[in-house]
Amino acid sequence: MKFAFSRPTATKEQRETLFLNYRSVGYDGLQLKYGQYAPYLNNPGSFIEEWGNQEGVASALIAGGKLDEHNHQEMKSILAFAQTVGVERIVFCHGIPRNEIVEDDLKKFASQLSELGKEAYEQFGVQLSLHHHHNQPVMYRSDFDVFFDNVRGDSVNLTVDTAHLYASGIRDIAEVIYSFKDRIDNFHMKDFADGDWKVLGEGIIDFKPIFKAIQTIEYDGWISADEESGSGILQGMRDCYRYMKEGLIN
């Protein structure tokens, strides 16, 4: 397994704190939020010049949209950037409210994302991974079955987010891991309590069966702490790394 870290940053100083410290804390890479790579989309050489010596600095890019024409063009720019800087995967958040769709829409979205995933891999060498969200199309447990039953081949993989599952009413997170073990290529680990995201270990999610499921399926890909609690960057990095290492490695 490889450990990554992901966290929003509001200022250049915060971004530099993130970029310059993840390796020393112990992480293998970063999974970048849109605002952290967007300024470089039209000039990937500048990103490489500034950060190219940081191994794993862009192990994944988190992107999103509604899959309309404008979003598709933007995704092409993101994919071109990803190819140039050596990104492994795009983690896609589908920005449409769940209450605005029906089951047939999930089938249509599976087809659209299959096309995008095929394009991403064949033209840019980048894997597409769906990041399910609370109040986005793939939200309820049955949504996962409908969506992935209609994905073509291995064009779209799955990023499992522990807190978004919990917030969506899915308590047996381990079952999702076992059921979709052949689709999962990424994890976003975060905790949840009182309607908000928490640093790992500070919420109410029971991670013991989650960690056991990850070990049982012999998962060997990326596991990212997706830290969105608003805590201090360095402390959050250290706390999340310690929690994941103790639960999955020790």
For the segment 171-217, what is each residue's pLDDT rounded down to a tens digit? 999 999 999 999 999 999 999 999 999 999 999 999 999 999 999 99
- Going by C-alpha positions, the residue among 2, 248, 186 that lies closest to residue 177 is 186
The domain tally of the chain equals 1
Give the global pTM.
0.97
Q: How far is 109 from 225, CA to CA, in rounded Å?
A: 27
CATH number where 11 lies: 3.20.20.150
Predicted local distance difference test score (pLDDT) of residue 250: 67
Name the stretches of the chain with pLDDT < 70: 250
pLDDT attached to residue 230: 87
Q: Return the axis-axis angle of helices 44-51 and 69-85, rounded to nearest 10°.
A: 40
Q: Which of 239, 224, 246, 193 has the alpha carbon at shortest distance from 7? A: 224
Q: What is the DSSP letter of 180?
A: T
- pLDDT on residue 231: 84
Provide the pLDDT for residue 223. 98
> Where are the alpha helices (H) located in the chain, listed in sequence order?
12-25, 34-37, 44-51, 69-85, 103-124, 141-149, 162-167, 173-179, 208-216, 233-248
Of 215, 218, 196, the C-alpha closest to 207 is 215
Q: Are strands 60-65 and 29-32 parallel, antiparallel or unpaired?
A: parallel
Q: What is the span of the domain harbouring residue 104?
A: 2-248
Taking only the tens place, the pLDDT of each residue in 91-118 is 999 999 999 999 999 999 999 999 999 9
